Structure 1
Amino acid sequence: MDLSSAIIGLVTVLAFVIPIALIIRASKAKQKKFLSNFVKLAQQQNISLSETEVWSSSYAIGIDSSSKALFYLRKRIDTEEHFAVDLSNMSSCKVLNSSRNVGGSTIVDAIYLVVSFKNPSEAEKRLEFFSANHSASLTDELQLAQKWASKVNATVTANQ
């Protein structure tokens, strides 16, 4: 193999690798900024998050284990929804997988973390983890919702 072939091969490989590396780097920076804004928003609510999770650069959830609070954020291009849940007022937390069967395949339309409260007059709160209307593909949102349901239920049980 001569030197010119090696240089052409190297340039070709770099032409593919560099853009992919730049996209990954930009995605990580965007996610880091989103997490930073999420933590600041929680601090404005006097919530000091001890554990957080960000996914799809549109969703974030965190828990303050000392003050027993859950904080959630869903951000869209035109709207932002955030709220805090006092875990001492909660009775349970479960995952709702809204799906349908089409031609033998299961299509997931939405995944929610559903928070129920001790006071029966207080309506359940649905924390969206995935919506087919806003995301093209489902990755690990179901496992993430199940993980957080377990975490929240463990905190609520320990709190009672």
Structure 2
Amino acid sequence: MDFNITTALVGLGILVVCLIPILWLHYTSNQANKKLQTQFKEAATQAGVNISQSDTWNKIYSIGIDETSKKLFYTKLNGHGLETTQIDLRNMKSCTIAKEMDGPNLEKIHLAIQLKNAPQQKLEFYDSDILPSVSEEYILAEKWVRSIEKVK
């Protein structure tokens, strides 16, 4: 076989054209998560929570824990801004993962935190009305159940 430079350049050009949108989506997603992480940390600081461990995902959700004061801080970005929830883990009875199903379809994933003297709090990790498909949300929820139980 003879090496044809024109064919190689055309192939390389097609490869570059296919990769540019993928790389752009990855870059913009990372930038959006970084911006949300900054907003999350600012909101936590304003609430007097010193975040020692945190996660941000899907450009919507953030969760963090203050291991010293045993407080969990959660935010969800909605149409009205950043919705925040703060939970004192010293008042926690249990923490589990709750899934809501519609037949065979997964609708929602929540952390369900049962408090000793208050109603159960649900922290959303996935909602099929917002996101088209579930990816790492369940694994992330499992990680946070372990982290919360460790701090409790």
- TM-score normalised by the chain length of structure 1: 0.87
Deviates more, 1:145-154 or 1:29-38: 145-154
Deviation for aligned residue 1:11:
1.3
1:64 matches 2:66? yes
Question: Matched residues, percent identical?
Answer: 29
Aligned residue identity for 1:110: K
Aligned residue identity for 1:32: K
Equivalent residue for 2:135?
139
Equivalent residue for 1:77?
79
1:126 matches 2:122? yes
- What SS does structure 2 have at the residue aligned with 1:99? strand
- What SS does structure 2 have at the residue aligned with 1:137? coil
Q: Deviations over 1:33-70 (max 9, x none)?
A: 11111111101111111100111110110001011110
- Find the aligned partners of 1:16 and 1:153 in 2 and give their Cα distance: 45
1:148 matches 2:150? no
Superposition misfits of 4+ residues, deviation over 4 angstroms: none
Structure 2 runs not aligned, ≥5 long: none
Aligned residue identity for 1:118: K
Aligned residue identity for 2:85: F
Aligned residue identity for 1:117: L
Compute the RMSD of aligned alpha carbons.
1.4
Q: Given the alignment, which residue of 97, 103, 106 partners 1:108? A: 106
Aligned length: 150
Equivalent residue for 2:8?
6
- TM-score normalised by the chain length of structure 2: 0.91
Equivalent residue for 1:43?
45
Deviates more, 1:141-150 or 1:40-49: 141-150
- Find the aligned partners of 1:127 and 1:92 in 2 and give their Cα distance: 14
Equivalent residue for 1:90?
92
Deviation for aligned residue 1:79:
4.6
Deviates more, 1:11-20 or 1:35-44: 11-20
Deviation for aligned residue 1:3:
2.4
- Find the aligned partners of 2:99 and 2:130 in 1 and give their Cα distance: 16
- Find the aligned partners of 2:45 and 2:81 in 1 and give their Cα distance: 20
Aligned residue identity for 1:19: P
- What SS does structure 1 have at the residue aligned with 2:50? coil
